[in-house]
Amino acid sequence: MYRDIISFSTEALILAGVYNPYTNELNREPLIEASRKMFREMYKREGLTMTGITVGEIHYNTKNFHIHYATVEVENTRRMIEYKGELQARGMRKDSTLQAMKSVFANHIFERTEQLAQISDLRNTMRQSIKNELHQTENEQTLVLVSRLEYLLPEDKRQWNSKNLSDSAREVMQDLIDELMRSNPEFNRYKRLAKEEDEHRQKMFGELSTNQSSFYEGRMYGVPDGVYYRLGNSILEEMRKSNNTKYKSKEIISKASKAVNHRSSRNLERAFNTGHYQLKKIERLVDDDFEQYKIEQERYKLDRDVERARWEQSL
């Protein structure tokens, strides 16, 4: 049995026109229809369309209105697993299913379809924007980020996609996207709308549990719907197609590395003063073009660690 509960903020229901505080009347029909849509989504995602049955009851006896649901199957289709010495049907639902259920319910009650459509449209539009930015850029900082990224990618170009990025490559990719989209109005608007939707959902659903991602985090960093994931795929697609050596020539790497060296020297000095032993390791590396590039990889990671640590200390 799947047991679910939705609890409402009275203020949110008033704003949605579902509850009249003056007459103490609750319009049940929108809640019932939203519930039906929510469980249709669950059935579809969990393969319960032909077997699932759900009942629900609206409760009025607490500070906030809430609805209890119970879902069972006419005939079990879940995979059987051993749990605490007994054979049981696997009952876990995917986190993506739970998030989709909440979204479907909220969109019906609070009419957020237009806002979500804007966010989705912007994400799709930006895929072409970032490709244009990538081809047009002559910025040294951006070029060295592309060079670093290419250095961290697998030799097999068929594996060049966001799914296969290592942790270090993903950090570089995120910095590259930030650099390319720094002045892009679509990117800034996307972040603003995602943040506004996130704040709206917090008012509706309350605080998230520790293992849940916020709407903003999902739309920014999620897999596969996050904007960084999708824009990363757009960048890698262009890099796969391009035979241009613009990003990987030793001349560009050396030139861009010198620029970064100059800007990061004070950060490296602070890192040394705070006891970061990695600096000595960096200074012992061989001083030719390729090894110098490897040095920059270490320095780049070190700079990020130092700045992150200082930021955390300032909180």
Q: Are residues 124 and 240 in the same domain?
A: yes
Give Cα 248 to chain centroid, integer Å.
29
Pair of tokens at residue 311: 């930021």
- 30 domain residue, yes or no: yes
Cα 19 to its chain centre, rounded Å, is 34
Nearest to 41 by CA among 89, 117, 120, 105: 105
Domain that residue 99 falls in: 2-76+93-108
97/50 same-domain check: yes
Looking up residue 46, the CATH number of its domain turns out to be: 3.30.300
Is 149 among the domain residues?
yes
C-alpha to C-alpha distance for 192 and 229, rounded to whole angstroms: 18
pLDDT at 10: 83
Look at residue 287 in the predicted model and tell me its pLDDT: 45
Last residue of a domain, which of 209, 231, 248? 248
* 212, 233, 248 - which closes a domain: 248
Reported as type and span, the H/E element at residue 211 is: none
Q: What is the pLDDT of residue 17?
A: 85
Q: What is the torsion angle, in degrees rounded to the nearest 10, for the CA atoms of residue 202, residue 207, residue 210 and residue 213?
A: -10
Residues 165 and 199 in one domain: yes
Task: Report residue 17: phi and psi, to 5°.
Answer: 75, 15
List 82's β-bridge partners, or say none. 87
On whether both 258 and 294 belong to a single domain, the answer is yes
Three-class SS of 67-119: EEEEEEECCCCCCEEEECCEEEECCCCCHHHHHHHHHHHHHHHHCCHHHHHHH
Assess whether 99 and 192 both reside in one domain. no
Q: What is the mean pLDDT of each run of 10 residues along the chain (315 residues)?
A: 88 84 90 95 95 94 89 92 88 88 85 79 91 88 89 90 93 94 93 88 67 84 91 93 54 50 48 45 47 62 64 56
Statement to judge: residues 265 and 294 lie in one domain:
yes
